[in-house]
């Protein structure tokens, strides 16, 4: 589907922990269908280049983002007050494929990498979904409230400091699961571990690659991902060919 520009108004913005923001927005016009894993390219104040952010949840006229303030662009954006209006190009990217006849699903997310995963469960209520979600601490986990609990069969929260749920990484618990399909988004180390797990157990895996981006629409090649297909390595664009790729094809 072609992306269009939408004007979004910030209805609520809450900070969680040091630098995580939950940004609830509303649109005057009806938003298009957005698939799990697709993203918005957001215009941030005083920056030429837009910033890519996945769509966490949405309805016809509301959309929520979970954003880490990590630099100038995200700092300017998360400093916007309630009521501010910004524009976003959406929906962009391919999103996570939902495979027919595969109902036993696991989600593996870390930090803001949990955000693109929830719509897999929310938009496909017939799936049997277990989520393994990792955060630095309880405050960051709180940005998601109990949203995952409402749509997943089982959720395991993990924190690096032990302040909530399992004390350790979500990848520690992967071997306790036997999903048919694993969907992943997070730090490269997490994705690498997930790829090895999928290879070893013959699990189908898909990962969302949150590369640094420029144009966001396939023209600048800033977002290249190394992909191995048929024994040959090639570069693919996270924005236009991804951001979701079969995990066994990604060269980390």
Ligand X SMILES: Cc1cc2nc3c(=O)[nH]c(=O)nc-3n(C[C@H](O)[C@H](O)[C@H](O)COP(=O)(O)OP(=O)(O)OC[C@H]3O[C@@H](n4cnc5c(N)ncnc54)[C@H](O)[C@@H]3O)c2cc1C
Read off the tokens for 153: 């069969």
* 222 touches, from ligand FES, ligand X, none (C-beta below 5 to 8 Å by class): ligand FES
Where does the chain show beta strands of DSSP type E? 4-16, 20-27, 39-42, 51-54, 57-58, 62-68, 85-92, 104-110, 128-135, 154-159, 166-167, 181-185, 204-208, 224-229, 232-237, 244-246
In order of 8, 100, 120, 223, the CA distances from 126 in angstroms are: 31, 11, 11, 34
* 72 touches, from ligand FES, ligand X, none (C-beta below 5 to 8 Å by class): ligand X
For ligand FES, give the closer residue by CB, 84 or 220: 220
Restricted to residues 2-31, the positions that interact with ligand X (CB under 6 A) are none
List the one residue out of 74, 61, 59 whose CA is nearest residue 28.
61
For the bound state, the minimum distance from the C-beta of residue 31 to ligand FES, rounded and expressed in Å, comes to: 22
Which of 103, 215, 246, 248 lies at the binding interface for ligand FES (CB under 6 A)? Answer: 215
Read off the tokens for 59: 């309805």
* 187 touches, from ligand X, ligand FES, none (C-beta below 5 to 8 Å by class): none
For ligand FES, give the closer residue by CB, 205 or 216: 216
For ligand FES, give the closer residue by CB, 89 or 198: 89
**Residue 118 touches ligand X, criterion: CB under 6 A:** no
Which of 213, 225, 244, 247 lies at the binding interface for ligand FES (CB under 6 A)? Answer: 213
For ligand X, give the closer residue by CB, 69 or 163: 69
List the one residue out of 146, 148, 172 whose CA is nearest residue 159.
172
Give dist(CA 201, CA 102) in Å, integer: 16
**Residue 49 touches ligand FES, criterion: CB under 6 A:** no
In order of 75, 98, 121, 144, the CA distances from 150 in angstroms are: 30, 20, 9, 11
Site of interaction with ligand X (CB under 6 A): 39, 51-54, 66-68, 70-74, 93, 112, 115, 210-213, 238, 243
Site of interaction with ligand FES (CB under 6 A): 213-216, 218-223, 237-240
């Amino acid at each position: 589907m072609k992306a269009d520009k939408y004007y979004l108004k910030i209805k609520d913005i809450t900070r969680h922990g040091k630098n995580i923001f939950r940004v609830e927005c509303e649109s005057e016009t009806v938003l298009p269908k957005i698939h799990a894993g697709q993203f918005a390219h957001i215009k941030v104040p005083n920056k030429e280049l837009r910033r890519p952010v996945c769509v966490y949840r949405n309805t016809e006229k509301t959309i929520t983002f979970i954003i880490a303030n990590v630099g100038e662009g995200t700092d300017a954006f998360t400093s916007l007050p309630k009521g501010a209006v910004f524009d976003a190009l959406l929906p962009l990217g391919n999103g996570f494929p939902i495979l027919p006849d595969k109902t036993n699903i696991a989600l593996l997310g870390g930090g803001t990498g949990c955000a693109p995963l929830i719509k897999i469960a929310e938009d496909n209520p017939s799936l049997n979904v277990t989520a393994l979600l990792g955060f630095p601490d309880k405050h960051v986990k709180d940005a998601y409230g109990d949203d995952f609990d409402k749509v997943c069969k089982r959720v395991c929260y993990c924190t690096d400091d032990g302040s909530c749920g399992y004390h350790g990484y979500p990848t520690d618990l992967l071997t306790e699961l036997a999903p048919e399909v694993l969907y992943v988004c997070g730090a490269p180390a997490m994705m690498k571990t997930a790829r090895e797990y999928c290879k070893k157990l013959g699990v189908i895996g898909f990962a969302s690659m949150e590369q640094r981006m420029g144009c966001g629409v396939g023209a600048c090649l800033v977002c290249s991902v190394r992909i191995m297909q048929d024994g040959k390595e090639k570069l693919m664009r996270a924005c236009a060919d991804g951001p979701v790729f079969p995990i066994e094809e990604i060269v980390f």
